[in-house]
Protein backbone atom coordinates (compact mmCIF):
# COMPACT_ATOMS: atom_id res chain seq x y z
CA UNK A 1 0.00 0.00 0.00
CA UNK A 2 1.44 3.36 -1.01
CA UNK A 3 2.27 5.99 1.56
CA UNK A 4 -0.14 8.46 -0.09
CA UNK A 5 -3.05 5.98 0.16
CA UNK A 6 -2.30 5.35 3.82
CA UNK A 7 -2.30 9.09 4.46
CA UNK A 8 -5.57 9.49 2.52
CA UNK A 9 -7.26 6.80 4.60
CA UNK A 10 -6.02 8.36 7.82
CA UNK A 11 -7.36 11.75 6.77
CA UNK A 12 -10.70 10.20 5.80
CA UNK A 13 -11.01 8.56 9.21
CA UNK A 14 -10.05 11.74 11.05
CA UNK A 15 -12.63 13.84 9.18
CA UNK A 16 -15.28 11.14 9.57
CA UNK A 17 -14.77 10.92 13.32
CA UNK A 18 -14.89 14.70 13.65
CA UNK A 19 -18.19 14.86 11.76
CA UNK A 20 -19.61 12.16 14.02
CA UNK A 21 -18.52 14.11 17.09
CA UNK A 22 -20.10 17.34 15.88
CA UNK A 23 -23.42 15.80 14.83
CA UNK A 24 -23.93 13.59 17.91
CA UNK A 25 -25.93 16.15 19.97
CA UNK A 26 -27.97 17.28 16.92
CA UNK A 27 -31.10 15.17 17.40
CA UNK A 28 -33.85 16.53 15.17
CA UNK A 29 -36.82 14.55 16.46
CA UNK A 30 -35.92 15.17 20.11
CA UNK A 31 -35.76 18.91 19.39
CA UNK A 32 -39.31 19.04 17.97
CA UNK A 33 -41.20 16.34 19.89
CA UNK A 34 -44.49 17.13 21.63
CA UNK A 35 -45.55 15.80 25.04
CA UNK A 36 -48.00 12.88 24.88
CA UNK A 37 -50.59 14.77 26.95
CA UNK A 38 -51.01 17.17 24.01
CA UNK A 39 -52.79 14.36 22.17
CA UNK A 40 -55.17 13.74 25.07
CA UNK A 41 -56.10 17.42 25.27
CA UNK A 42 -56.69 17.77 21.54
CA UNK A 43 -58.84 14.66 21.29
CA UNK A 44 -60.80 15.72 24.40
CA UNK A 45 -61.73 18.91 22.51
CA UNK A 46 -62.91 16.69 19.61
CA UNK A 47 -60.41 18.42 17.36
CA UNK A 48 -61.89 21.88 17.85
CA UNK A 49 -58.93 23.70 19.42
CA UNK A 50 -55.40 24.03 18.08
CA UNK A 51 -52.69 22.40 20.20
CA UNK A 52 -50.96 24.94 22.40
CA UNK A 53 -47.63 24.70 20.62
CA UNK A 54 -45.84 27.86 19.54
CA UNK A 55 -42.39 29.48 19.48
CA UNK A 56 -42.42 29.77 23.28
CA UNK A 57 -42.82 26.02 23.63
CA UNK A 58 -39.71 25.41 21.53
CA UNK A 59 -37.79 28.15 23.32
CA UNK A 60 -38.26 26.14 26.51
CA UNK A 61 -37.08 23.00 24.69
CA UNK A 62 -33.42 24.02 24.67
CA UNK A 63 -31.01 22.55 22.14
CA UNK A 64 -28.26 20.42 23.76
CA UNK A 65 -25.47 22.13 21.85
CA UNK A 66 -24.11 25.61 21.18
CA UNK A 67 -25.45 26.53 17.73
CA UNK A 68 -22.88 29.18 16.93
CA UNK A 69 -19.93 27.11 18.08
CA UNK A 70 -21.10 24.01 16.20
CA UNK A 71 -21.72 26.03 13.03
CA UNK A 72 -18.20 27.46 13.24
CA UNK A 73 -16.72 23.99 13.77
CA UNK A 74 -18.66 22.59 10.80
CA UNK A 75 -17.40 25.41 8.58
CA UNK A 76 -13.86 24.72 9.72
CA UNK A 77 -14.29 20.98 9.08
CA UNK A 78 -15.50 21.58 5.53
CA UNK A 79 -12.52 23.83 4.83
CA UNK A 80 -10.15 21.18 6.19
CA UNK A 81 -11.72 18.47 4.01
CA UNK A 82 -11.41 20.59 0.87
CA UNK A 83 -7.83 21.60 1.67
CA UNK A 84 -6.60 18.14 2.64
CA UNK A 85 -8.52 15.83 0.27
CA UNK A 86 -8.84 18.27 -2.62
CA UNK A 87 -11.82 20.01 -4.16
CA UNK A 88 -12.47 17.19 -6.65
CA UNK A 89 -12.15 14.20 -4.33
CA UNK A 90 -15.42 12.29 -4.62
CA UNK A 91 -15.54 10.86 -1.11
CA UNK A 92 -14.60 14.31 0.16
CA UNK A 93 -17.57 15.78 -1.72
CA UNK A 94 -19.94 13.36 0.02
CA UNK A 95 -18.44 14.30 3.37
CA UNK A 96 -18.88 17.99 2.57
CA UNK A 97 -22.48 17.43 1.50
CA UNK A 98 -23.20 15.92 4.91
CA UNK A 99 -21.48 18.85 6.64
CA UNK A 100 -23.68 21.27 4.68
CA UNK A 101 -26.76 19.28 5.71
CA UNK A 102 -26.01 19.58 9.41
CA UNK A 103 -25.49 23.31 9.02
CA UNK A 104 -28.98 23.58 7.50
CA UNK A 105 -30.39 21.39 10.27
CA UNK A 106 -29.04 23.77 12.90
CA UNK A 107 -30.62 26.71 11.07
CA UNK A 108 -33.92 24.83 10.89
CA UNK A 109 -33.92 23.98 14.60
CA UNK A 110 -33.11 27.58 15.49
CA UNK A 111 -36.36 28.57 13.70
CA UNK A 112 -38.73 26.10 15.37
CA UNK A 113 -42.25 27.48 15.47
CA UNK A 114 -41.46 30.03 12.74
CA UNK A 115 -42.06 30.19 8.95
CA UNK A 116 -38.36 29.63 8.20
CA UNK A 117 -38.57 26.15 9.76
CA UNK A 118 -40.80 24.91 6.92
CA UNK A 119 -38.66 26.55 4.24
CA UNK A 120 -35.52 24.87 5.57
CA UNK A 121 -37.33 21.55 5.95
CA UNK A 122 -38.13 21.67 2.23
CA UNK A 123 -34.46 22.25 1.44
CA UNK A 124 -33.50 19.25 3.53
CA UNK A 125 -36.23 16.72 2.78
CA UNK A 126 -38.04 18.04 -0.30
CA UNK A 127 -41.72 18.73 -0.97
CA UNK A 128 -44.83 16.65 -1.59
CA UNK A 129 -45.18 18.48 -4.92
CA UNK A 130 -41.79 17.19 -6.10
CA UNK A 131 -41.83 14.91 -9.12
CA UNK A 132 -40.44 11.40 -8.95
CA UNK A 133 -37.17 10.86 -10.84
CA UNK A 134 -37.97 10.29 -14.51
CA UNK A 135 -41.72 10.58 -14.00
CA UNK A 136 -44.32 13.31 -14.45
CA UNK A 137 -46.32 12.41 -11.34
CA UNK A 138 -45.85 14.18 -8.02
CA UNK A 139 -45.37 12.48 -4.68
CA UNK A 140 -48.83 13.70 -3.64
CA UNK A 141 -50.42 11.98 -6.63
CA UNK A 142 -48.68 8.72 -5.84
CA UNK A 143 -49.52 9.02 -2.16
CA UNK A 144 -53.21 9.56 -2.92
CA UNK A 145 -53.27 6.53 -5.20
CA UNK A 146 -51.68 4.33 -2.54
CA UNK A 147 -53.95 5.68 0.21
CA UNK A 148 -56.97 4.80 -1.92
CA UNK A 149 -55.77 1.22 -2.46
CA UNK A 150 -55.02 0.70 1.22
CA UNK A 151 -58.33 2.17 2.40
CA UNK A 152 -60.57 -0.04 0.24
CA UNK A 153 -63.05 -2.13 2.26
CA UNK A 154 -61.05 -5.31 1.72
CA UNK A 155 -57.97 -3.67 3.25
CA UNK A 156 -59.93 -2.35 6.23
CA UNK A 157 -61.35 -5.80 6.93
CA UNK A 158 -57.87 -7.31 7.18
CA UNK A 159 -57.10 -5.35 10.33
CA UNK A 160 -58.81 -8.07 12.38
CA UNK A 161 -55.80 -10.30 11.67
CA UNK A 162 -53.47 -8.03 13.66
CA UNK A 163 -54.75 -7.72 17.24
CA UNK A 164 -52.50 -5.81 19.64
CA UNK A 165 -52.22 -8.37 22.43
CA UNK A 166 -48.47 -8.36 23.13
CA UNK A 167 -47.27 -6.27 26.07
CA UNK A 168 -44.23 -4.03 25.78
CA UNK A 169 -41.98 -6.24 28.00
CA UNK A 170 -43.01 -9.31 25.97
CA UNK A 171 -42.27 -7.43 22.75
CA UNK A 172 -38.80 -6.49 24.00
CA UNK A 173 -38.05 -10.13 24.79
CA UNK A 174 -39.21 -11.43 21.40
CA UNK A 175 -37.52 -8.72 19.37
CA UNK A 176 -34.28 -9.02 21.35
CA UNK A 177 -34.09 -12.73 20.62
CA UNK A 178 -34.64 -12.19 16.90
CA UNK A 179 -32.19 -9.32 16.46
CA UNK A 180 -29.41 -10.66 18.66
CA UNK A 181 -29.33 -13.67 16.38
CA UNK A 182 -29.18 -11.49 13.28
CA UNK A 183 -26.45 -9.17 14.63
CA UNK A 184 -24.19 -12.04 15.62
CA UNK A 185 -20.93 -10.09 16.00
CA UNK A 186 -22.08 -6.82 17.59
CA UNK A 187 -23.84 -5.69 20.70
CA UNK A 188 -27.24 -4.10 20.17
CA UNK A 189 -30.18 -3.58 22.50
CA UNK A 190 -33.93 -3.60 22.51
CA UNK A 191 -35.28 -1.75 25.53
CA UNK A 192 -38.38 -0.10 26.96
CA UNK A 193 -38.67 3.68 26.83
CA UNK A 194 -41.01 6.21 28.42
CA UNK A 195 -39.55 9.06 26.40
CA UNK A 196 -40.78 8.30 22.87
CA UNK A 197 -44.11 9.37 21.39
CA UNK A 198 -44.28 6.70 18.66
CA UNK A 199 -44.54 3.02 19.51
CA UNK A 200 -40.97 2.34 18.40
CA UNK A 201 -37.83 4.29 17.55
CA UNK A 202 -34.14 3.69 16.90
CA UNK A 203 -31.15 5.43 18.40
CA UNK A 204 -27.85 4.17 17.00
CA UNK A 205 -27.62 0.49 17.91
CA UNK A 206 -30.71 0.52 20.16
CA UNK A 207 -34.34 -0.20 19.31
CA UNK A 208 -36.68 1.50 21.79
CA UNK A 209 -40.26 0.32 22.37
CA UNK A 210 -42.87 2.49 24.06
CA UNK A 211 -43.43 1.02 27.53
CA UNK A 212 -47.11 2.05 27.47
CA UNK A 213 -47.96 0.50 24.08
CA UNK A 214 -49.42 -2.87 23.11
CA UNK A 215 -48.18 -4.64 20.01
CA UNK A 216 -49.33 -7.11 17.38
CA UNK A 217 -47.28 -9.90 15.83
CA UNK A 218 -47.30 -7.80 12.64
CA UNK A 219 -45.76 -4.89 14.57
CA UNK A 220 -42.87 -7.08 15.71
CA UNK A 221 -42.30 -8.39 12.20
CA UNK A 222 -42.13 -4.81 10.95
CA UNK A 223 -39.78 -3.67 13.71
CA UNK A 224 -37.45 -6.61 13.08
CA UNK A 225 -36.78 -5.63 9.46
CA UNK A 226 -37.50 -1.88 9.48
CA UNK A 227 -35.80 -0.82 12.70
CA UNK A 228 -33.45 -3.78 12.99
CA UNK A 229 -32.20 -4.99 9.62
CA UNK A 230 -32.20 -1.52 8.04
CA UNK A 231 -31.73 1.24 10.63
CA UNK A 232 -29.56 -0.64 13.13
CA UNK A 233 -27.96 -2.67 10.34
CA UNK A 234 -26.72 0.32 8.38
CA UNK A 235 -25.48 1.93 11.60
CA UNK A 236 -23.38 -1.10 12.46
CA UNK A 237 -22.20 -1.51 8.86
CA UNK A 238 -21.05 2.11 8.90
CA UNK A 239 -19.25 1.64 12.21
CA UNK A 240 -17.45 -1.36 10.76
CA UNK A 241 -15.82 0.82 8.11
CA UNK A 242 -12.13 1.26 8.92
CA UNK A 243 -11.98 4.77 7.44
CA UNK A 244 -15.41 6.10 6.31
CA UNK A 245 -17.04 5.96 9.74
CA UNK A 246 -19.37 8.81 8.78
CA UNK A 247 -21.50 6.12 7.10
CA UNK A 248 -22.75 5.17 10.57
CA UNK A 249 -24.71 8.42 10.97
CA UNK A 250 -27.35 9.93 8.75
CA UNK A 251 -28.04 13.51 7.76
CA UNK A 252 -31.40 14.38 6.12
CA UNK A 253 -29.96 13.77 2.64
CA UNK A 254 -30.02 10.01 3.38
CA UNK A 255 -33.54 9.94 4.84
CA UNK A 256 -35.35 8.88 1.66
CA UNK A 257 -32.92 6.04 0.93
CA UNK A 258 -33.01 4.82 4.53
CA UNK A 259 -36.76 5.01 5.08
CA UNK A 260 -37.55 3.76 1.59
CA UNK A 261 -35.24 0.78 2.07
CA UNK A 262 -36.90 0.02 5.40
CA UNK A 263 -40.36 0.07 3.80
CA UNK A 264 -39.09 -2.08 0.92
CA UNK A 265 -37.86 -4.70 3.42
CA UNK A 266 -41.31 -4.70 5.03
CA UNK A 267 -42.76 -5.55 1.62
CA UNK A 268 -40.13 -8.11 0.53
CA UNK A 269 -40.53 -10.05 3.79
CA UNK A 270 -44.36 -9.74 3.71
CA UNK A 271 -44.15 -8.16 7.16
CA UNK A 272 -46.36 -5.15 6.42
CA UNK A 273 -50.14 -4.95 6.33
CA UNK A 274 -52.72 -2.64 4.70
CA UNK A 275 -53.10 -0.48 7.79
CA UNK A 276 -49.40 0.16 8.05
CA UNK A 277 -49.15 0.79 4.30
CA UNK A 278 -52.00 3.30 4.43
CA UNK A 279 -50.40 5.08 7.35
CA UNK A 280 -47.20 5.60 5.34
CA UNK A 281 -49.13 6.72 2.25
CA UNK A 282 -51.33 9.17 4.17
CA UNK A 283 -48.25 11.04 5.35
CA UNK A 284 -47.68 12.46 1.87
CA UNK A 285 -51.16 14.01 1.79
CA UNK A 286 -50.62 15.47 5.26
CA UNK A 287 -47.37 17.12 4.17
CA UNK A 288 -48.93 18.48 0.98
CA UNK A 289 -51.91 19.99 2.83
CA UNK A 290 -49.61 21.67 5.32
CA UNK A 291 -47.49 23.02 2.48
CA UNK A 292 -50.63 24.47 0.90
CA UNK A 293 -51.38 26.41 4.10
CA UNK A 294 -53.79 24.14 5.97
CA UNK A 295 -53.74 24.37 9.76
CA UNK A 296 -53.61 21.48 12.22
CA UNK A 297 -57.39 21.20 12.62
CA UNK A 298 -58.01 21.15 8.86
CA UNK A 299 -55.52 18.35 8.27
CA UNK A 300 -56.89 16.38 11.24
CA UNK A 301 -60.47 16.58 10.00
CA UNK A 302 -59.41 15.67 6.47
CA UNK A 303 -58.25 12.30 7.76
CA UNK A 304 -61.32 11.89 9.97
CA UNK A 305 -63.40 12.38 6.82
CA UNK A 306 -61.31 9.63 5.20
CA UNK A 307 -62.50 7.23 7.94
CA UNK A 308 -59.23 7.25 9.84
CA UNK A 309 -59.63 7.00 13.61
CA UNK A 310 -59.33 10.11 15.76
CA UNK A 311 -56.09 8.83 17.29
CA UNK A 312 -54.45 8.02 13.97
CA UNK A 313 -55.73 11.26 12.42
CA UNK A 314 -54.05 13.18 15.23
CA UNK A 315 -50.80 11.27 14.94
CA UNK A 316 -50.35 11.60 11.18
CA UNK A 317 -51.13 15.33 11.52
CA UNK A 318 -48.86 15.87 14.49
CA UNK A 319 -45.90 14.40 12.64
CA UNK A 320 -46.13 17.11 9.98
CA UNK A 321 -46.67 20.07 12.31
CA UNK A 322 -43.97 19.23 14.88
CA UNK A 323 -41.40 21.99 14.69
CA UNK A 324 -43.67 24.11 12.50
CA UNK A 325 -46.73 26.28 13.16
CA UNK A 326 -50.05 24.66 14.13
CA UNK A 327 -51.93 27.64 12.67
CA UNK A 328 -50.37 26.89 9.28
CA UNK A 329 -47.49 28.24 7.23
CA UNK A 330 -44.68 26.07 8.56
CA UNK A 331 -44.25 22.29 8.56
CA UNK A 332 -41.90 19.31 8.75
CA UNK A 333 -41.65 17.50 5.41
CA UNK A 334 -39.60 14.42 6.40
CA UNK A 335 -42.65 12.18 6.03
CA UNK A 336 -42.47 12.23 2.24
CA UNK A 337 -39.24 10.22 2.60
CA UNK A 338 -41.01 6.88 3.02
CA UNK A 339 -42.91 6.87 -0.27
CA UNK A 340 -40.23 8.73 -2.21
CA UNK A 341 -37.50 6.43 -0.95
CA UNK A 342 -39.53 3.29 -1.59
CA UNK A 343 -39.94 4.24 -5.24
CA UNK A 344 -36.31 5.34 -5.59
CA UNK A 345 -34.99 2.10 -4.07
CA UNK A 346 -37.14 -0.03 -6.37
CA UNK A 347 -36.07 1.97 -9.41
CA UNK A 348 -32.42 1.74 -8.36
CA UNK A 349 -32.60 -2.06 -8.04
CA UNK A 350 -34.41 -2.43 -11.35
CA UNK A 351 -31.94 -0.13 -13.09
CA UNK A 352 -28.94 -1.97 -11.61
CA UNK A 353 -30.34 -5.21 -12.98
CA UNK A 354 -31.23 -3.93 -16.45
CA UNK A 355 -27.85 -2.16 -16.67
CA UNK A 356 -26.04 -5.42 -15.91
CA UNK A 357 -24.72 -4.18 -12.55
CA UNK A 358 -26.60 -6.23 -9.90
CA UNK A 359 -23.51 -6.19 -7.67
CA UNK A 360 -24.47 -2.59 -6.80
CA UNK A 361 -27.62 -3.77 -4.99
CA UNK A 362 -26.00 -4.86 -1.67
CA UNK A 363 -24.35 -1.43 -1.49
CA UNK A 364 -27.69 -0.06 -0.27
CA UNK A 365 -26.73 -1.51 3.14
CA UNK A 366 -23.18 -0.15 3.24
CA UNK A 367 -24.25 2.53 5.72
CA UNK A 368 -26.31 5.71 5.94
CA UNK A 369 -26.08 6.91 2.35
CA UNK A 370 -27.99 8.53 -0.49
CA UNK A 371 -28.61 6.38 -3.56
CA UNK A 372 -26.69 8.84 -5.75
CA UNK A 373 -23.59 8.17 -3.61
CA UNK A 374 -23.48 4.46 -4.47
CA UNK A 375 -21.33 4.57 -7.65
CA UNK A 376 -18.63 6.52 -5.79
CA UNK A 377 -18.82 4.25 -2.74
CA UNK A 378 -18.74 1.12 -4.89
CA UNK A 379 -15.54 2.27 -6.58
CA UNK A 380 -14.03 2.99 -3.18
CA UNK A 381 -14.91 -0.56 -2.12
CA UNK A 382 -13.23 -1.96 -5.21
CA UNK A 383 -10.14 0.11 -4.42
CA UNK A 384 -9.97 -1.19 -0.85
CA UNK A 385 -10.76 2.15 0.80
CA UNK A 386 -14.16 0.91 2.01
CA UNK A 387 -15.22 -2.58 3.09
CA UNK A 388 -18.36 -4.40 1.98
CA UNK A 389 -21.46 -4.41 4.23
CA UNK A 390 -21.05 -6.58 7.31
CA UNK A 391 -24.75 -7.35 7.79
CA UNK A 392 -27.05 -8.07 4.85
CA UNK A 393 -30.61 -9.43 4.82
CA UNK A 394 -30.69 -12.87 3.17
CA UNK A 395 -32.23 -11.65 -0.09
CA UNK A 396 -29.52 -8.97 -0.43
CA UNK A 397 -26.67 -11.28 0.56
CA UNK A 398 -27.59 -13.74 -2.20
CA UNK A 399 -29.43 -11.46 -4.57
CA UNK A 400 -30.26 -13.99 -7.30
CA UNK A 401 -33.85 -14.05 -6.04
CA UNK A 402 -34.02 -10.26 -6.14
CA UNK A 403 -32.65 -10.37 -9.66
CA UNK A 404 -35.45 -12.70 -10.74
CA UNK A 405 -38.12 -10.74 -8.85
CA UNK A 406 -37.18 -7.32 -10.19
CA UNK A 407 -36.21 -8.70 -13.58
CA UNK A 408 -39.77 -9.91 -14.04
CA UNK A 409 -41.10 -6.60 -12.71
CA UNK A 410 -38.97 -4.67 -15.21
CA UNK A 411 -40.07 -6.88 -18.06
CA UNK A 412 -43.75 -6.40 -17.23
CA UNK A 413 -43.49 -2.65 -16.61
CA UNK A 414 -44.70 -1.77 -20.11
CA UNK A 415 -48.01 -3.60 -19.84
CA UNK A 416 -51.13 -1.41 -20.02
CA UNK A 417 -52.45 -1.92 -16.50
CA UNK A 418 -55.71 -0.09 -17.20
CA UNK A 419 -56.48 -2.51 -20.01
CA UNK A 420 -55.74 -5.45 -17.71
CA UNK A 421 -58.03 -4.02 -15.03
CA UNK A 422 -60.87 -3.60 -17.51
CA UNK A 423 -60.52 -7.24 -18.53
CA UNK A 424 -60.75 -8.54 -14.98
CA UNK A 425 -63.50 -6.10 -13.99
CA UNK A 426 -65.64 -7.69 -16.68
CA UNK A 427 -64.91 -11.09 -15.13
CA UNK A 428 -65.74 -9.86 -11.64
CA UNK A 429 -68.93 -7.94 -12.41
CA UNK A 430 -71.32 -10.90 -11.96
CA UNK A 431 -69.93 -11.98 -8.59
CA UNK A 432 -72.58 -11.82 -5.84
CA UNK A 433 -72.46 -9.02 -3.32
CA UNK A 434 -71.83 -10.36 0.16
CA UNK A 435 -71.70 -8.86 3.61
CA UNK A 436 -68.13 -7.98 4.64
CA UNK A 437 -66.47 -10.52 6.90
CA UNK A 438 -65.60 -7.75 9.30
CA UNK A 439 -66.80 -4.20 9.67
CA UNK A 440 -64.50 -1.96 11.74
CA UNK A 441 -65.97 0.62 14.06
CA UNK A 442 -65.50 4.32 13.39
CA UNK A 443 -62.60 4.55 15.84
CA UNK A 444 -60.72 1.42 14.80
CA UNK A 445 -57.02 2.24 14.62
CA UNK A 446 -54.65 1.20 11.88
CA UNK A 447 -51.37 -0.23 13.11
CA UNK A 448 -49.42 2.55 14.79
CA UNK A 449 -45.86 1.46 14.27
CA UNK A 450 -42.54 3.21 14.29
CA UNK A 451 -41.45 6.68 13.25
Using a cut of 0.75, tell me whether the model's pTM lies above it. Answer: yes
Of the two residues 35 and 136, the one the predictor is more confident about is 35
The mean pLDDT value of the chain amounts to: 92
- Of 48-62, 119-133, 165-179, 435-449, the one with minimum mean pLDDT is 435-449
> CA 87, CA 393: separation in Å to the nearest integer?
36
pLDDT band at 451 (very low <50, low <70, confident <90, very high): low
Q: What is the pLDDT of residues 146-193, one digit of tens each?
A: 998 898 887 777 766 778 999 999 999 999 999 999 999 898 999 999
**How much of the chain, in percent, has pLDDT values that exceed 70?**
95
Q: Is the pLDDT confidence value at 435 over 70? A: no
- Would strands 189-193 and 200-203 be described as parallel, antiparallel, or unpaired? unpaired
Q: Is the pLDDT confidence value at 434 over 70? A: no
Of the two residues 247 and 447, the one the predictor is more confident about is 247
Q: What is the pLDDT of residues 29-78, one digit of tens each?
A: 999 999 989 999 999 999 999 999 999 999 999 999 999 999 999 999 99
Name the DSSP letter for residue 139: H
> CA 424, CA 422: separation in Å to the nearest integer?
6
**How much of the chain, in percent, has pLDDT values that exceed 90?**
79
* Per-residue model confidence (pLDDT) at position 325: 98
* Per-residue model confidence (pLDDT) at position 167: 97
Q: Is the pLDDT confidence value at 444 over 50? A: no
> CA 320, CA 330: separation in Å to the nearest integer?
9
User: Which neighbouring-strand residues pair with 189?
Assistant: 206
Inter-helix orientation angle 67-85/3-23, to 10°: 170
- Would strands 206-210 and 200-203 be described as parallel, antiparallel, or unpaired? antiparallel
pLDDT band at 429 (very low <50, low <70, confident <90, very high): confident
* Per-residue model confidence (pLDDT) at position 421: 83
Q: Is the pLDDT confidence value at 447 over 80? A: no
Amino acid sequence: MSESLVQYQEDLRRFSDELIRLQTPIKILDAIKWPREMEDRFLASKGSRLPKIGPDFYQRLALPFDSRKTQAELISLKQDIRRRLGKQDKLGKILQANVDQYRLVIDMLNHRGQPEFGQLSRQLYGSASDKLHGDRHSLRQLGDRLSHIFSLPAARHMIKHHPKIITAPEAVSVLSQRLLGYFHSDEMRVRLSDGIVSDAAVGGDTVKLNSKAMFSESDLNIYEVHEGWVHVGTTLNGRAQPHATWLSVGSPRVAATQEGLAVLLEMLTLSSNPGRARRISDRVAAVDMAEQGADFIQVFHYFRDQNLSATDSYRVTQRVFRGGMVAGGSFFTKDISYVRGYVENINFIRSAITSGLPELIPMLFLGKLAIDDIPVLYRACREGILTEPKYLPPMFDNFSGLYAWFGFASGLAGIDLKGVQRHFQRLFKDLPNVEPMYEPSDDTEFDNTSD
